[in-house]
Amino acid sequence: MAEIEREAMEYDVVIVGAGPAGLSAAIRLKQLNADLDVVVLEKGSEVGAHILSGAVLDPCGLDKLIPDWKEKGAPLNVEVKEDNFYMLGEAGEIRIPNFPMPPLMNNHGNYIVSMANVCRWMAEQAEELGVEIFPGMACSELVYGEAGTIKGVVAGVFGLEEDGSYGPNTEPGMELHGKYVFLSEGVRGSLAKEVIERYGLSDGKEPQKFGLGMKEIWEIDPAKHKEGTVTHTMGWPLGGNAGGGSFIYHLENNQVYVGFVVHLNYKNPHLFPYMEFQRFKHHPMVAELLEGGKRVAYGARAISEGGYQSMPQMVAPGVALLGCSVGMVNVPRIKGNHNAMLSGIAAAEAAHNALEEGRSSDELHEYEQEVRKGDIGKDLKKVRNVKPMWSKWGMLPSLALGGLDMWSNTLFGVSPFGTLKHGKNDAASTELAASHKPIDYPKPDGKLSFDRLTNVSFAMTNHEESQPCHLQLKDVNIPIMTNLPMYAEPAQRYCPAGVYEVVEEEGKDPRFVVNFQNCVHCKTCDIKDPSQNINWVTPQGGDGPNYPNM
């Protein structure tokens, strides 16, 4: 095939992803030098369409970026008033008091927000400063310069043939070149994954660990609504099957965020994270809250949980990884948006200083140093052992020892445990199906719990059916020949959107079906597939979920 000819546009900084990290970087760059040419490319149909987060926001990143955010109308409307933590059993719950918890666990001064709406507001601030923002522009390729540098991205390819080839109606997209490229794609971004692998950025680091976060928005009976209340739970229904827990956040307008996180290092391939979430809502405490209410939205997203010891090197020639492309979630706090914003600010300041010195396309080591030694590194270092403790020793021991470890780090700046290792990645944690019993899940009742396909319709996800499948199987035989006999093909269960099916018809061999139209871009398949056979690449721009207030 002849080389594809594309127009090229030149910028000082090209930013991939209009999440909190990318938008913070764009805003800070223009604050430092209004004459810089800065572009933000977003694969969602609009800014915020692909943003899903809990979210209780620590405003420290916003305070640093836009100190007068209140006057400028930032959508931080519900301050946390009450913090509850429960250990659940099947029929009841035990309240865990707040006083033994280290200060970092306190939500005083934080806000219950829709990060999708916060990002929409941040995009308005960026555009007022002169940042160019192009939604619906998926970045499908990196553009490499001489001597292995990254000089830009390819964005806006539309109308590929079903086999991935260029046809008569294909729009080849554009190359957007930058003196520096920032990748802020969120968890398991496809371009960041390529950069990490090409430049060996994870060499010598612990493997990144992940959780699957699923979330519904409910409108509930006003009599039960307690604006500003934050509740977290552990225990039932997961028990010893997997790490994880829930969150219930009361925001404004009688709405509640109901979310459930399952750590993806679970061993039993019969585990069905989505059905664990649905079962959770039948706990008496939760069912009583939701009874008489209605679910109005659903979505899912992977969460980076490896923390301090899993952060890869963040820079390579011409490129920097921001936010969840690195993995900056504070796991016990269930917060990462503040660190994403701080990373965007740090990357912008490093790039600005480099450009002032006449540099370009080199490694922004100043950015990496600031992340590791500054506020982000301090935030993550204090809690670095909580996740590996949970994985190694289970929930109750890790609750006690993790609390001790966080107190020791907070008071003395040291840990009696040093820095624990994570060990295996989440795919390798999956054990053989024969070693585990299948789990019998109750059928959704259509009132509190719902089947996957019904719920996916509330994510308003859509993909043009004639385009190539963006969920690429490295070997089409592995799902049936390997994963089905060895692991009962867990893709049928770990996907929270019902993308993967094993279809068995009488007299025929089983078939593996990929319903890519259902995909909500959570990336779980790219992470958890035990054979690492699924590669998530970006579909054409504008496709995917359309989250309103996630």
208-219 pLDDT per residue, tens = 999 999 999 999
DSSP letters, 178-235, are: EEEEEE---TT-HHHHHHHHHTTTTTTSPPP-EEEEEEEEEE--GGG--TTEEEEEEE
In this prediction, residue 303 carries a pLDDT of: 98
Amino acid at 95: R
CA dist 433 and 484 (Å) reads 9
Chain centre to alpha carbon of residue 204 = 23
Mean of the pLDDT values across residues 29-35? Answer: 98
Q: Is the pLDDT of residue 533 over 90?
A: yes
Same domain for 152 and 199, yes or no, is yes
- Determine, yes or no, domain membership for 464: no
In this prediction, residue 394 carries a pLDDT of: 87
Taking all residues of the chain, what is their mean pLDDT, rounded to a whole number? 96
- Determine, yes or no, domain membership for 316: yes
3-state secondary structure at position 511: strand
CA dist 233 and 237 (Å) reads 10
- Determine, yes or no, domain membership for 537: no
Mean of the pLDDT values across residues 414-435? Answer: 96
CA dist 232 and 411 (Å) reads 25
Same domain for 155 and 185, yes or no, is yes
pLDDT, tens digit (0-9, with 9 covering 90-100), for 56-110: 999 999 999 999 999 999 999 999 999 999 999 999 999 999 888 889 889 999 9
Chain centre to alpha carbon of residue 405 = 26
pLDDT, tens digit (0-9, with 9 covering 90-100), for 124-134: 999 999 999 99
Same domain for 336 and 361, yes or no, is yes
* Helix residue ranges per DSSP H, 413-487: 452-456, 478, 484-487
pTM of the model: 0.97
User: CB of 25 within 8 A of CB of 191?
Assistant: no
pLDDT, tens digit (0-9, with 9 covering 90-100), for 339-370: 999 999 999 999 999 999 999 999 999 999 99
End of a domain among 271, 304, 337? 304
Domain CATH number, residue 94: 3.30.9.90
pLDDT, tens digit (0-9, with 9 covering 90-100), for 427-449: 999 999 999 999 999 999 999 99
3-state secondary structure at position 3: coil
Residues spanned by the domain of 283: 80-108+208-304
In this prediction, residue 60 carries a pLDDT of: 98
- Determine, yes or no, domain membership for 89: yes
DSSP letters, 323-338, are: GGGT---BTTTTB-HH
End of a domain among 284, 304, 324? 304
3-state secondary structure at position 406: helix
CA dist 28 and 347 (Å) reads 9
Half-sphere exposure of 376 (CA within 13 A, CB side): 31
In this prediction, residue 421 carries a pLDDT of: 96
Confidence of residue 404 (pLDDT cuts 50, 70, 90): very high
Confidence of residue 5 (pLDDT cuts 50, 70, 90): confident
In this prediction, residue 1 carries a pLDDT of: 39
- Determine, yes or no, domain membership for 458: no
Half-sphere exposure of 126 (CA within 13 A, CB side): 31
DSSP letters, 82-129, are: EEEEEEE-SS-EEEPPSTTS-GGG--TT-EE--HHHHHHHHHHHHHHT
Q: Is the pLDDT of residue 3 over 80?
A: no
In this prediction, residue 77 carries a pLDDT of: 97
Domain CATH number, residue 33: 3.50.50.60
- Determine, yes or no, domain membership for 367: yes
CA dist 88 and 237 (Å) reads 8
Mean of the pLDDT values across residues 185-204? Answer: 98
Same domain for 104 and 121, yes or no, is no
Mean of the pLDDT values across residues 274-293? Answer: 98
CA dist 290 and 450 (Å) reads 13
Same domain for 347 and 230, yes or no, is no
End of a domain among 351, 373, 395? 373
Same domain for 328 and 241, yes or no, is no
Mean of the pLDDT values across residues 517-543? Answer: 97
What tokens does 271 get? Answer: 């585990």
Cis peptide before 297 (omega within 30 of 0): no
Same domain for 158 and 232, yes or no, is no
Same domain for 180 and 264, yes or no, is no
What tokens does 133 get? Answer: 């923002």
- Determine, yes or no, domain membership for 295: yes
Same domain for 179 and 124, yes or no, is yes
- Determine, yes or no, domain membership for 261: yes
Question: First-to-last CA distance in the chain?
Answer: 42
Please list, in sequence order, all residues whose beta carbon lies within 8 angstroms of the beta carbon of residue 94, skipping any fewer than 6 positions away: 86, 87
Same domain for 126 and 37, yes or no, is yes
CA dist 371 and 522 (Å) reads 26
What tokens does 447 get? Answer: 């009132």
As for how many domains the chain has, the answer is: 2
In this prediction, residue 539 carries a pLDDT of: 97
pLDDT, tens digit (0-9, with 9 covering 90-100), for 287-325: 999 999 999 999 999 999 999 999 999 999 999 999 999
User: CB of 246 within 8 A of CB of 258?
Assistant: yes
Closest CA to 335 of 528, 104, 548, 523: 104
Same domain for 242 and 226, yes or no, is yes
3-state secondary structure at position 146: helix
More confident residue, 164 or 278: 278
Same domain for 134 and 46, yes or no, is yes
CA dist 485 and 86 (Å) reads 39
Strand partners, 342: none
